[in-house]
Structure 1
Amino acid sequence: MLAALMLPGVVVAGGGSAVPRGNTIAAIVSNDPNFSTLLSAVQAAGLVDTLNSAGPFTVFAPTNAAFAKVPAADLNALLNDRERLRALLLYHVVPGRVTAAQVTGLSSAKTANGANLSIRTSGNMVMINDATVTRADIRASNGIIHVVDTVLMP
């Protein structure tokens, strides 16, 4: 799967990425205004095709509010460094379809960039590193999305 994650994004005239259609992870992210910063990052990193491909993937998706916690200068630098951005985004992706019920039984998960995420649960709260899962089990045709309130830093 890691090789699949290295595919370039679809680029159309004008320099933008193609808008995904259907019920893929990429389509869900592109159609939800709460993920507009994530979508911009995925496009800048050339990962649209990956999140539109067969998968399956589990994505811990930071909202715009999560990205807003990152200092503006750091976020701009990241968005302009494709390799660092790809590594960061792939840190939010776990190979396979991992539901909320499965996540609560884990203490860690290996990400698509090769690093591990720490997983803790307390009652109904699930923490991925220092991020809280605010919405779980958004089902896509090629995986599942869990929304997090903080950008995960490798």
Structure 2
Amino acid sequence: MNIQTPIDLSAHVDRMLQERGSRSDASLESYLRSLYVNVLSYKNEVMTYSLVGKLLEQSFDTAPIQYMEEWNQCSRPPVLETAIDGFTYTREVLQFHIFDLREMERQEEENRYRFLGTTSRTNHTWYNFDVHSYLECAASGLEDRLGDDPHCDWFTLGVFLELGRLYE
């Protein structure tokens, strides 16, 4: 896998989602718990766009970690500018997304207009609620934001995930 820029990553995500089609029946929360497992297992690796692509792809086939009660404390997204380091930022983004999606699950099941944007119980905005739209919008958002910038680190993955929640 040779992914060098956000543009390459976006193309990879598009191909990956086309290949998978509707084979992914997992909820977004479940997929993110699988991604959490993979992120933890690569904690000591240098982040690259190729590794981002690998993590995203592997997470379709990784068993999700059980929901952890301490995630109930993750009621707001981490602040990028005050994050300790990129890995911690990415881990905290995942924890927040998993918590917030779990909290919203019952609230949003019956809201057929949720893709126009909704506010969670923790007062945070969401636009994407399934794996396909979340990854597609994250990739498009990162491409729009960074273009062909080859720099990638753990912060980049955290930003990618936040764009999955926020990018329309």
TM-score (norm 2): 0.32
TM-score (norm 1): 0.34
Higher strand share goes to which structure? 1
Larger relative contact order (Cα-Cα within 8 Å, sequence gap ≥ 6): 2
